[in-house]
Chains A and B, each alone.
Chain A
């Protein structure tokens, strides 16, 4: 059963969620990009903005309507909330006969993710698999995950680097949301078709003015999503992709991409599933207190694979790009039973030299002996 809320219903949703103790985080315009940050109402959303994306290129452009969600995804992903870029894990304090170690307790806020896209929900599900469903669970992620309300938005347009349809990850959110909206701007009418995915979503929807969606309204919303699916900027052939990459570790294409790759790590920072971290000890000046701080890391750094003796085991750009792409698309499947790629296109857009994971995959497939 679908429902309809009008333009003002979005602000009603924000008020209801705030009243239920959620801090709202969602898309907002800053520094020429749409990023995720605290918001309070629809006024903070990128009203009337869209984005143009291509390999190594991202530009905001005004739309000719007042759509709230009329763009693809920006450089941020929700992982910054669930897997914070910097987090203290534990502290150690000197004592007379040694030291004590104190586990850091975390109390993350209840967060409502406003405007999460289907690819991002898939990314969350993948991170769940990695960080919650293995032998060892990330306690911070666990707590924050349990305190989420997910307000999804089905994509009304595909970005130039989007390929979620290839990865079976969108553009329609199929699971992992409390409430999903499809935005329809048709002439004078601006409304949202809403579907509740959980009892919590239902309850929030019931607290705002809504009506039962008519077949026409549902048809309009379905058409929006269908149009998005047909206008994907990129595609990636995933046929037997694990075997493809496992069998092509020596493909000459890796040497070619290595000549362009700067090993800057941008792709890993913007990727919504990349989860690698490192730790550093931070000590107070007096030397009596130390903290174990976890930060995001990237497999593109030399340090990442450093061992004493041989040094960095992935000393070339070739080996580092191959590690990243082979992990994302192939070894991830053996490790976690799923691809690590959701087709959001961020790694293509935010690569300074526009390296394109879909193009690299196609080149390897095309050149397979």
Chain B
């Protein structure tokens, strides 16, 4: 339950206020033993300030380092922004549940994300493109408020070049250089063909967006047990003891952050629960 020191080996600026930190656990034994599954998160510690839960964005087979994409919004991330390559943070994890990737082999994967919600799902995308033959179609639907919010710009371009892979980007506030779609991310759903019985949808983003996307997918005939969401909650301990991350009967750090939609639907549809 205590953080282990990890060195920042790379710091990429994604867009204004968003960075991807590549972290390498300093202790060789711990580094070698660290295994995670896409969808899980780590608690990242900034010395003297505190910890924040950040999802792991890198590929689980990449044992060299762990990518964490961070939006600079609070005290801890504010300190992270000022850190440089070579500086040390603390890391403990991985925690939580993961996306149903093994179970989804052979099926179409629909990834629906909004804003920085794409971070927890990036590992899904890289996982699928690295094992392209094992999955059906990969459809990536990503919405952002403004074009300047787009992270992973180059990755989106690269993913689109893979066989049987579609990337659809949309923004609410297009500027003159925006060459993709306009509108909220659910409008993209109307533009893709779906094989409802053979699709798995993995979603992450603002809760209103996920509720709307789930509604749309259900209407299009995707069974409720094929919908998965990743939920964000306040977390202090990440091991189910502090009580902060409760969503109805669930502890998001323990049985989440990735939930099969029908398992939390009752709670999820009551904002404030």
Contacts of A315 in B (CB 8 A): 272
* In contact, B50 and A136 (Cβ under 8 angstroms): no
Contact bitstring A297-311, B, C-beta under 8 A = 1, else 0 = 101000111111110
- Asked whether A249 and B270 contact (CB < 8 A) given A281-B49, A299-B243, A305-B233, the answer is yes
- Number of chain B residues whose Cβ lies closer than 8 Å to a Cβ of chain A: 42
Q: List 18 A-B contacts (CB under 8 A).
A: A90-B2, A92-B48, A98-B5, A135-B240, A136-B1, A136-B240, A277-B236, A277-B243, A278-B236, A279-B236, A281-B48, A281-B49, A304-B244, A307-B232, A307-B233, A318-B272, A331-B249, A334-B249
Q: A29-37, A99-107, A118-126: which one contacts chain B?
A: A99-107
Within 8 Å of chain B (Cβ to Cβ): is A81?
no
Within 8 Å of chain A (Cβ to Cβ): is B88?
yes
Within 8 Å of chain A (Cβ to Cβ): is B32?
no
* In contact, A99 and B73 (Cβ under 8 angstroms): no
- Asked whether A275 and B273 contact (CB < 8 A) given A101-B2, A335-B251, the answer is no
Closest 9 CB pairs of A and B: A98-B88, A276-B243, A319-B272, A136-B239, A334-B249, A308-B73, A331-B249, A290-B48, A283-B48
- Asked whether A98 and B236 contact (CB < 8 A) given A249-B273, A250-B270, A290-B48, the answer is no
* Chain A residues in the interface with B (C-beta under 8 A): 89-90, 92, 94, 97-103, 130-131, 134-136, 138, 246, 249-250, 275-281, 283, 287, 290, 292, 297, 299, 303-310, 313-316, 318-319, 322-323, 326-327, 331, 334-335
- Asked whether A135 and B254 contact (CB < 8 A) given A281-B49, A310-B206, A313-B233, the answer is yes
* In contact, A327 and B246 (Cβ under 8 angstroms): yes
Contact of B7 among A98, A135, A136, A287 (CB under 8 A): A98
Nearest CB in chain A: distance from B250 CB, A: 8
Instruction: Describe A's contact surface by its main secondary structure.
Output: mixed
For the complex, what is the distance from the CA of A281 to the CA of B76, rounded to whole Å?
A: 11
For the complex, what is the distance from the CA of A136 to the CA of B3, rounded to whole Å?
A: 15
Contacts of B3 in A (CB 8 A): 92, 101
Contacts of A297 in B (CB 8 A): 236, 242-244
Contacts of B251 in A (CB 8 A): 335
* Chain B residues in the interface with A (C-beta under 8 A): 1-5, 7, 26, 45, 47-51, 71, 73-74, 87-88, 90, 206-207, 232-234, 236-237, 239-244, 246, 248-249, 251, 254, 266, 270-273
Nearest CB in chain B: distance from A248 CB, A: 11
Complex: chain A residue closest to B233, CB-CB: A307
For the complex, what is the distance from the CA of A314 to the CA of B26, rounded to whole Å?
A: 39
Nearest CB in chain B: distance from A60 CB, A: 33
* In contact, B5 and A100 (Cβ under 8 angstroms): yes
Name, among A134, A278, A307, the residue most crowded by chain B CB atoms within 10 Å (CB to CB). A307
For the complex, what is the distance from the CA of A84 to the CA of B237, rounded to whole Å?
A: 16
Using A246-B266, A276-B242 as known contacts, list a sample of 18 further A-B pairs with CB atoms less than 8 Å apart, ordered by residue number in A. Answer: A92-B47, A98-B5, A98-B7, A98-B88, A99-B47, A276-B243, A279-B50, A279-B237, A280-B50, A281-B50, A287-B48, A290-B47, A297-B236, A305-B234, A309-B206, A313-B234, A316-B272, A319-B273
Nearest CB in chain A: distance from B215 CB, A: 19
Contacts of A323 in B (CB 8 A): 246, 273
Contacts of A326 in B (CB 8 A): 248
Contacts of A102 in B (CB 8 A): 2
Contact of B241 among A250, A275, A292 (CB under 8 A): A275
For the complex, what is the distance from the CA of A134 to the CA of B239, rounded to whole Å?
A: 9
Complex: chain B residue closest to A318, CB-CB: B272
- Asked whether A277 and B237 contact (CB < 8 A) given A90-B2, A297-B243, the answer is yes
For the complex, what is the distance from the CA of A307 to the CA of B233, rounded to whole Å?
A: 6
Name, among B207, B242, B272, the residue most crowded by chain A CB atoms within 10 Å (CB to CB). B272
Contacts of A283 in B (CB 8 A): 48
* In contact, A92 and B50 (Cβ under 8 angstroms): no
* In contact, B266 and A92 (Cβ under 8 angstroms): no
For the complex, what is the distance from the CA of A259 to the CA of B90, rounded to whole Å?
A: 43
Complex: chain B residue closest to A130, CB-CB: B241
* In contact, B241 and A131 (Cβ under 8 angstroms): yes
Contacts of B87 in A (CB 8 A): 98
Contacts of B248 in A (CB 8 A): 326, 331
Complex: chain A residue closest to B244, CB-CB: A304
Contact of A101 among B4, B207, B233 (CB under 8 A): B4
Nearest CB in chain B: distance from A319 CB, A: 3
Contacts of A292 in B (CB 8 A): 50
For the complex, what is the distance from the CA of A292 to the CA of B90, rounded to whole Å?
A: 12
Contacts of A131 in B (CB 8 A): 241
Name, among A280, A283, A305, the residue most crowded by chain B CB atoms within 10 Å (CB to CB). A305
Nearest CB in chain A: distance from B28 CB, A: 15
For the complex, what is the distance from the CA of A103 to the CA of B2, rounded to whole Å?
A: 7
Nearest CB in chain A: distance from B145 CB, A: 11
Complex: chain A residue closest to B72, CB-CB: A308
Nearest CB in chain B: distance from A87 CB, A: 12
Complex: chain B residue closest to A131, CB-CB: B241
Contacts of A100 in B (CB 8 A): 5
For the complex, what is the distance from the CA of A314 to the CA of B245, rounded to whole Å?
A: 12
